[in-house]
Amino acid sequence: MKFSIGSHSKIKSREQKTDKTILFVCVENSARSQMAEGFFRKYVLKGHTSLSAGTRPSAEVNPLAVQVMGEFGIDISKQKPKDLTEDMIRNSYKIVNMGCMEKEACPALFVHNLIHWNIEDPKGKQIEKVRDIRDEIERKVRQLAAEINKDNKQ
């Protein structure tokens, strides 16, 4: 597999530049990292923002991920899978690897100092399993938000 990290072309406003970005990464950026990005936005801490990306992004967000997030009132239907870029990595306060389904495209090969969650990939799973995965992601995002909040108070 050939992997090259391009430059991130998204232009940030002055306000966003002061935010600390939490980057959620996986291979396809179609479900787990998209759900984590959505949950982090729900539980966002002042001065923080979330972003997700993949080493080999899919064409679209997994429809079951969109459906199960909608059950929690979180709309990720407009989110798009994105390529992981050097700028994203460089500009992130914390980077979370959701888990690796393909060893040769695993973000851990390209990004160091990751937080590893090792969450099962929902690709091809029944909706009940996707809900279980969503619930695990929510627990982990809440825990991460609490840790960040605690660090900011110290």
Q: Residue 5 falls within a domain, yes or no?
A: no
Tokens 């729900």 — which residue? 42
Number of domains comprising the chain? 1
150: left (phi over 0), alpha (psi -120 to 50) or beta: alpha
Find the range with the poorest average confidence among 3-7, 52-56, 117-121, 150-154.
Answer: 3-7
Q: Residue 105 falls within a domain, yes or no?
A: yes
Q: Residue 11 falls within a domain, yes or no?
A: no
pLDDT at 111 over 60: yes
- Domain that residue 60 falls in: 18-153
Q: Residue 12 falls within a domain, yes or no?
A: no
pTM above 0.85, yes or no: no
DSSP string, 53-96: EESS--SS--HHHHHHHHTTT---TT----B--HHHHHTEEEEE
Number of H helices, E strands in the chain: 5, 4
Q: Residue 9 falls within a domain, yes or no?
A: no
Which amino acid is located at 67 in the chain? Q
Residues acting as catalytic residues = 26, 100, 106
What pLDDT is stored for residue 37 in this prediction? 96
Assigned token pair, 47: 């001065």
Tokens 């969450």 — which residue? 119
